[in-house]
Protein backbone atom coordinates (compact mmCIF):
# COMPACT_ATOMS: atom_id res chain seq x y z
CA UNK A 1 0.00 0.00 0.00
CA UNK A 2 1.27 3.47 -0.84
CA UNK A 3 2.08 5.78 2.08
CA UNK A 4 -0.31 8.47 0.81
CA UNK A 5 -3.16 5.92 0.70
CA UNK A 6 -2.32 4.53 4.14
CA UNK A 7 -2.31 8.02 5.66
CA UNK A 8 -5.30 9.40 3.75
CA UNK A 9 -7.59 9.47 6.82
CA UNK A 10 -4.85 9.68 9.44
CA UNK A 11 -4.41 12.94 11.34
CA UNK A 12 -2.82 11.50 14.49
CA UNK A 13 -0.21 8.79 13.98
CA UNK A 14 1.44 6.97 16.86
CA UNK A 15 4.98 6.14 15.74
CA UNK A 16 6.56 3.12 17.39
CA UNK A 17 10.28 2.98 18.15
CA UNK A 18 11.64 1.26 15.03
CA UNK A 19 10.23 3.80 12.53
CA UNK A 20 11.63 6.67 14.62
CA UNK A 21 15.07 5.06 14.56
CA UNK A 22 14.75 4.48 10.79
CA UNK A 23 13.97 8.17 10.31
CA UNK A 24 16.65 9.67 12.54
CA UNK A 25 19.37 7.26 11.40
CA UNK A 26 18.13 7.29 7.75
CA UNK A 27 17.99 3.49 7.46
CA UNK A 28 18.44 2.77 3.73
CA UNK A 29 16.08 -0.24 3.83
CA UNK A 30 13.09 1.92 4.77
CA UNK A 31 14.23 5.44 3.90
CA UNK A 32 11.77 6.05 1.05
CA UNK A 33 8.72 4.96 3.08
CA UNK A 34 9.77 6.81 6.24
CA UNK A 35 10.67 9.99 4.36
CA UNK A 36 7.28 9.92 2.60
CA UNK A 37 5.57 9.68 6.00
CA UNK A 38 7.61 12.49 7.55
CA UNK A 39 7.00 14.72 4.52
CA UNK A 40 3.32 14.62 5.48
CA UNK A 41 4.29 15.34 9.09
CA UNK A 42 6.44 18.32 8.06
CA UNK A 43 3.56 19.63 5.93
CA UNK A 44 1.33 19.55 9.02
CA UNK A 45 -1.01 16.94 7.54
CA UNK A 46 -0.16 14.32 10.16
CA UNK A 47 0.72 14.79 13.83
CA UNK A 48 3.17 12.30 15.36
CA UNK A 49 2.32 10.93 18.80
CA UNK A 50 4.78 9.00 20.94
CA UNK A 51 5.47 8.06 24.55
CA UNK A 52 8.27 7.80 27.12
CA UNK A 53 8.70 4.18 25.98
CA UNK A 54 9.64 5.40 22.48
CA UNK A 55 12.08 7.95 23.88
CA UNK A 56 13.72 5.48 26.26
CA UNK A 57 14.09 2.78 23.60
CA UNK A 58 15.52 5.26 21.08
CA UNK A 59 18.11 6.56 23.56
CA UNK A 60 19.61 3.19 24.50
CA UNK A 61 21.89 2.87 21.44
CA UNK A 62 23.22 6.45 21.51
CA UNK A 63 23.82 6.24 25.26
CA UNK A 64 25.74 2.97 24.89
CA UNK A 65 27.91 4.48 22.16
CA UNK A 66 28.24 7.87 23.85
CA UNK A 67 26.73 9.67 20.84
CA UNK A 68 25.38 12.83 22.46
CA UNK A 69 24.35 14.38 19.12
CA UNK A 70 22.18 11.38 18.27
CA UNK A 71 20.66 11.50 21.76
CA UNK A 72 19.83 15.15 21.17
CA UNK A 73 18.38 14.40 17.72
CA UNK A 74 15.99 11.81 19.18
CA UNK A 75 14.92 14.10 22.02
CA UNK A 76 14.40 17.03 19.67
CA UNK A 77 12.19 14.97 17.37
CA UNK A 78 10.21 13.11 20.03
CA UNK A 79 9.73 15.73 22.72
CA UNK A 80 10.11 19.11 21.06
CA UNK A 81 9.17 18.49 17.42
CA UNK A 82 6.75 21.01 15.91
CA UNK A 83 4.27 18.32 14.86
CA UNK A 84 4.98 15.90 17.71
CA UNK A 85 2.94 15.15 20.80
CA UNK A 86 4.67 13.44 23.73
CA UNK A 87 2.05 11.58 25.80
CA UNK A 88 2.91 10.48 29.32
CA UNK A 89 1.73 7.14 30.68
CA UNK A 90 -1.18 7.46 33.12
CA UNK A 91 -2.92 4.98 35.40
CA UNK A 92 -5.68 4.51 32.81
CA UNK A 93 -3.09 3.77 30.11
CA UNK A 94 -1.37 1.25 32.40
CA UNK A 95 -4.67 -0.54 33.05
CA UNK A 96 -5.49 -0.65 29.33
CA UNK A 97 -1.96 -1.90 28.61
CA UNK A 98 -2.54 -4.79 31.00
CA UNK A 99 -5.79 -5.61 29.17
CA UNK A 100 -4.04 -5.49 25.77
CA UNK A 101 -1.16 -7.64 27.02
CA UNK A 102 -3.62 -10.20 28.38
CA UNK A 103 -5.73 -10.20 25.21
CA UNK A 104 -2.95 -10.31 22.60
CA UNK A 105 0.06 -11.68 24.51
CA UNK A 106 2.25 -8.78 23.35
CA UNK A 107 5.22 -7.47 25.30
CA UNK A 108 4.54 -4.98 28.06
CA UNK A 109 6.37 -2.27 26.09
CA UNK A 110 4.17 -2.92 23.03
CA UNK A 111 1.04 -2.98 25.20
CA UNK A 112 1.98 0.37 26.75
CA UNK A 113 2.64 1.84 23.30
CA UNK A 114 -0.69 0.58 21.95
CA UNK A 115 -2.63 1.75 25.01
CA UNK A 116 -1.01 5.18 24.76
CA UNK A 117 -1.98 5.41 21.08
CA UNK A 118 -5.59 4.48 21.84
CA UNK A 119 -5.80 6.91 24.79
CA UNK A 120 -4.34 9.70 22.64
CA UNK A 121 -7.05 9.03 20.03
CA UNK A 122 -4.59 8.18 17.28
CA UNK A 123 -6.00 7.11 13.94
CA UNK A 124 -3.20 4.60 13.29
CA UNK A 125 -0.12 3.00 14.83
CA UNK A 126 3.07 2.87 12.72
CA UNK A 127 5.43 0.01 13.50
CA UNK A 128 7.52 -2.59 11.75
CA UNK A 129 6.26 -5.41 13.96
CA UNK A 130 3.91 -7.52 11.83
CA UNK A 131 2.70 -9.40 14.92
CA UNK A 132 0.86 -6.27 16.05
CA UNK A 133 -1.47 -6.48 13.03
CA UNK A 134 -3.73 -8.78 15.05
CA UNK A 135 -4.57 -5.91 17.42
CA UNK A 136 -8.02 -4.59 16.50
CA UNK A 137 -8.29 -1.53 18.76
CA UNK A 138 -6.33 0.67 16.34
CA UNK A 139 -5.27 0.48 12.69
CA UNK A 140 -1.77 -0.99 12.47
CA UNK A 141 0.49 0.22 9.65
CA UNK A 142 3.66 -1.81 9.06
CA UNK A 143 6.53 0.10 7.44
CA UNK A 144 7.67 -2.93 5.46
CA UNK A 145 4.19 -3.20 3.88
CA UNK A 146 4.24 0.43 2.65
CA UNK A 147 5.65 1.87 -0.55
CA UNK A 148 6.63 5.45 -1.25
Region 101-121: mean pLDDT is 99
DSSP collapsed to 3 states, 3-22: HHHHCCCCCEEEECHHHHHH
| Per-domain residue ranges of the chain | 3-88+121-145
- What are the tens digits of pLDDT across the range 17-73? 999 999 999 999 999 999 999 999 999 999 999 999 999 999 999 999 999 999 999
Structure confidence at residue 52 (pLDDT)? 97
Structure confidence at residue 112 (pLDDT)? 99
CATH topology of domain 3-88+121-145: Rossmann fold (3.40.50)
Contact assessment for residue 108 and residue 95, using Cβ atoms and an 8 Å cutoff? no
Q: Predicted confidence band at 145 (pLDDT cuts at 50, 70, 90)?
A: very high
Q: What are phi and psi of 98, to 5 degrees?
A: -60, -40
Beta strands in the chain (DSSP E): 12-15, 47-50, 84-86, 124-127, 139-142
Amino acid sequence: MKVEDALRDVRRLFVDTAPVIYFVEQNPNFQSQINAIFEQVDAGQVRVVNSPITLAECLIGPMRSGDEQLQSDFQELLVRGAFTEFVTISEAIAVDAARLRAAYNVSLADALQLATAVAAQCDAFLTNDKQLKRVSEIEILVVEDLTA
